[in-house]
Structure 1
Amino acid sequence: MAQAAGDNPRWLAEGRGHLWLPYTQMKTAPEPLPVVSAEGVRLRLADGTELVDGIASWWTVAHGYRHPHIEQAVKRQLETLPHVMLGGLAHEPAATLAARLAKMLPGDLDHVFFSESGSVSVEIALKMAVQYWLNKGERRTRFLSFTGGYHGDTFVTMSVCDPEEGMHTMFRGVVPEQLIADLPTDDETAARLDALLETHGHAIAAVVVEPLVQGAGGMKFHDAETLRRLRAACDRYGILLIFDEIFVGFARTGLGMFACAAAGVLPDIITLSKALTGGTLPLAATVARARVFDAFWDDDPLKALMHGPTYMGNALACAAANASLDLFEREDRLGQAQRIERQLSAELEPARGLPGVRDVRALGGIGVIELSHLGDAAWLKQRFRELGVWLRPFGTILYTTPPLTIGEGDLRHLTGALVTVAGEWSDRFGKGE
């Protein structure tokens, strides 16, 4: 159970009035849960309660909390060089990480630009696409993205999120609206996309998509053929293709280390973050193919990529990322994701057919119970806490994306909580369609 407000530790009581939390109405929100430590797949609260973390701290903690290999790498790096600017300087962790990512990624995705967050890495990809065309003597300033898509909370990334289903509706018109289409999942939607590109292709710098799974937009799955249609359409109209793999990268789908490789579709630019450092330090990467990089390779200094985050390529974060890549290489995270999918598929199935449950689905380390309509969001969150799990539904989506290292018993605890809460929700709200 969560602590009562009067039992909260002093640091929370003193800081609560000053700490502005994400996606939170501070006036009406309940007290945040005071976490004092984490280990493996569990969060420990100030009162000693432990919760199984079913969302891996927003999909980052792929190897579990406090993996000793990552901790030791960060400690070693802290003793020699915590940070140095990459403007005119370089350091071994960043250089090694760039080379390793280039080797891991398919094709010629081998030019790596670092930043501190996923949203910023997408901003950089979009900016890179616009400057690519400017450097080639064309002015293309629009982007095309897809219904159900989510690419971040910064200003330009908001413009390529789904304007109807996301959390950014109030900001419509603040920045120029971009083109939004349905994913080309069949011949009809592919034809509509083609018509849109025929009309606007000359102005589009890039198409941006979350490959195989649209995450925060509803955990919506699509197949590799959809991505092949996108690649073919971009090639027909000479448009760059950006894959936002911040969520699905690093084995989350169970189909491969990266969705692009699993689908056999090579984007021109890819963005990575989340599990890159194993959930220890902020880091992201925007990786471009050779033909994109070549548009910036020039004697003219103004054709350089005009971007430079202060903490880009932070040495501590790069050390953590290199250690995280060690674990992906040494330990069978892909096999673990496939095992998780099998267990999720079997243990979430009892929720199918409940009144008000629209769908049950799983892919790799992603399990979803989709409700037909909203109920009481606060009640949902509280019930999960009472059942000893940390899950944070959004909208009608009850989901889990646990650390890939989760054991069978802890995963059963999560799936049991999901099915239990879905059943209770069905009794309370399921006939309210």
Structure 2
Amino acid sequence: MKEKDLFFDKKHIWHPYESITNTNNCFLVTSAKGIFLKLSNGQKIIDGMSSWWSVIHGYNHKRLNLALNKQIKKMSHVMFGGITHKPAISLCRKLLEITPKNLDCIFLADSGSVAIEIAMKMTLQYWNALNVNKTKFLTIKNGYHGDTFFAISVSDPLNSKHKIYNNVILKNIFAESPVISFDDIWNNTDLKSFEELICKNQHSIAGVILEPIVQGAGGMKFYHPNYLKNVRKLCNLYNIPLIIDEIATGFGRTGKLFASEYSNISGDILCIGKALTAGMLTLSAVLTTRYIADIISCSKAQCLMHGPTYMGNPLACAVANENIKMLKENKWKKQVKNIEIELKKNLKSLSNHPKVSNVRVLGAIGVVECLYPIKIKKMQSFFIKNHIWIKPFKNLIYTTPAYIIDKDSLKKITKVIALSLDTDNFIY
């Protein structure tokens, strides 16, 4: 049965960034508990990815399961158009408590990419309501904001898989990405490209969008907090809304509840997702100021022109509520700090390895940047054989484990990463 299922999958089902005819390895998971995934052959593997940053409390958590069970007995879904419900209201109350105080209005969406679409629509409708023709967005190179069309228009135009769409997407403005890393000494010259472009294009820029501190899929780079702080100042100077994309970094991953806290700034629009439901269901949210919301309401449309079928899904909102309750108990702070300590202890020595160009750690994120591209299929098999689930890309091996991971399991992950460097799973 397992072989038939995998054969069917390989023949008929697309996976993220995969060919349907020339696929990489695909492993059949039958269950998950805590930090472990169980494969169809009975093998248990440690998940070093927390399902792309989202499953922060581990799989099959009793409290999260209970929240879902309680809600599903009442209703799993109801349309949000003309109807509201307690899970959504409660969630929005909680979000306003934990996010920057200037944010006051919330749009509940389906996924991270859709949140970016909505945020960009907000800025365009904002300027449209003011009868000002601004249609461009300013961002930095090596960024990633999702896979939908607005989102890819502000993701790196050359170094991503989205460049095949460059002739049809909105043409935006890209500053050079920061080169001063998180722990380096700050120098204002790092801001030169961004400063020149925002000044030159101030009359056409509708909004600025950035991933705060961590550039995720664009290269897992950690930039200096002063960069973001100065971007906020420039947006204020030129009266341009700042969109902060905390979809990957939100809810404690970097050691702060939100990564923008490192710079002590807030955006005019905030996008959150991924860990919002602790990886239980898809849900995202876009928060903005009362001022922007009121201006949009004065537009010809008199409303924000977006309305997903599953907007404010009660089941997703209910489990997000429980997730935020758990986060407010503040266990995550010690958990993430312990992960950071262990990752630094066990990965930093790899900086001297002849196949490694850089090692960096921030919060519950550990990155080994290699000098050579990785043979993904072979490397994946190596990790599985060593009872680890890590999904490298390009020349990067990185881990973003669940916050509940124990010291021994984390040590196992870093040990296997070290061993992987001595394999022939690289393209020279």
TM-score normalised to structure 2 length: 0.95
What residue number does 1:398 align with? 397
Which stretch of structure 1 is more off in the superposition, 256-265 or 392-401? 256-265
| 1:31-430 equivalences in 2 (<5 Å) | 31-183=25-177, 186-254=187-255, 256-298=256-298, 302-425=301-424, 429=426
How far residue 379 of structure 1 moved from its aligned partner, in angstroms, is 1.6
Equivalent residue letter for 1:336:
Q
How far residue 275 of structure 1 moved from its aligned partner, in angstroms, is 0.4
**SS, match of residue 201 in structure 2:** helix
**SS, match of residue 291 in structure 2:** helix
What residue number does 1:3 align with? none
> Distance between the aligned counterparts of 1:15 and 1:362, measured in 2?
36
Q: Do 1:34 and 1:46's aligned partners in 2 also have CA atoms closer than 8 Å?
A: yes
> Distance between the aligned counterparts of 2:394 and 2:7, measured in 1?
30
Which stretch of structure 1 is more off in the superposition, 25-34 or 207-216? 25-34
Which stretch of structure 1 is more off in the superposition, 54-63 or 284-293? 284-293
> Distance between the aligned counterparts of 2:91 and 2:426, measured in 1?
49
Which stretch of structure 1 is more off in the superposition, 410-419 or 24-33? 24-33
How far residue 192 of structure 1 moved from its aligned partner, in angstroms, is 2.5
**SS, match of residue 205 in structure 1:** strand
Per the alignment, do residues 283 and 241 of structure 1 end up closer, same or farther by CA in structure 2, a change over 3 Å counting? same
Q: Do 2:25 and 2:380's aligned partners in 1 also have CA atoms closer than 8 Å?
A: no
Q: Do 1:356 and 1:371's aligned partners in 2 also have CA atoms closer than 8 Å?
A: yes
**SS, match of residue 423 in structure 2:** helix
How far residue 317 of structure 1 moved from its aligned partner, in angstroms, is 0.3
Q: Do 2:118 and 2:286's aligned partners in 1 also have CA atoms closer than 8 Å?
A: yes
Q: Do 1:106 and 1:261's aligned partners in 2 also have CA atoms closer than 8 Å?
A: no
**SS, match of residue 236 in structure 2:** helix
Q: Do 2:276 and 2:284's aligned partners in 1 also have CA atoms closer than 8 Å?
A: yes
Q: Do 1:269 and 1:286's aligned partners in 2 also have CA atoms closer than 8 Å?
A: yes
> Distance between the aligned counterparts of 2:96 and 2:339, measured in 1?
28
Which stretch of structure 1 is more off in the superposition, 300-309 or 384-393? 300-309
Q: Do 1:9 and 1:46's aligned partners in 2 also have CA atoms closer than 8 Å?
A: no
Equivalent residue letter for 1:227:
L
TM-score normalised to structure 1 length: 0.94
What residue number does 2:183 align with? none
Q: Deviations over 1:354-390 (max 9, x none)?
A: 1121001100000011001214222211111111111
Q: How many residues align?
A: 421
How far residue 429 of structure 1 moved from its aligned partner, in angstroms, is 4.7
What residue number does 1:4 align with? none
Which stretch of structure 1 is more off in the superposition, 93-102 or 377-386? 377-386
Supply the RMSD in Å over aligned alpha carbons. 1.6
> Distance between the aligned counterparts of 2:20 and 2:57, measured in 1?
32
Q: Do 2:115 and 2:272's aligned partners in 1 also have CA atoms closer than 8 Å?
A: yes
Structure 1 spans left out of the alignment, 5+ residues: 1-6
> Distance between the aligned counterparts of 1:398 and 1:289, measured in 2?
38
How far residue 213 of structure 1 moved from its aligned partner, in angstroms, is 0.4
Equivalent residue letter for 1:312:
M
**SS, match of residue 62 in structure 1:** coil
Q: Deviations over 1:53-97 (max 9, x none)?
A: 000011110000011101001111000011111111100000110
Per the alignment, do residues 15 and 399 of structure 1 end up closer, same or farther by CA in structure 2, a change over 3 Å counting? closer
Equivalent residue letter for 1:156:
F
Structure 2 spans left out of the alignment, 5+ residues: 181-186
Question: What is the identity percentage for the equivalent residue pairs of Structure 1 and Structure 2?
Answer: 37
Equivalent residue letter for 1:77:
Q
How far residue 106 of structure 1 moved from its aligned partner, in angstroms, is 1.5
How far residue 413 of structure 1 moved from its aligned partner, in angstroms, is 1.0
**SS, match of residue 246 in structure 1:** coil
How far residue 242 of structure 1 moved from its aligned partner, in angstroms, is 0.6
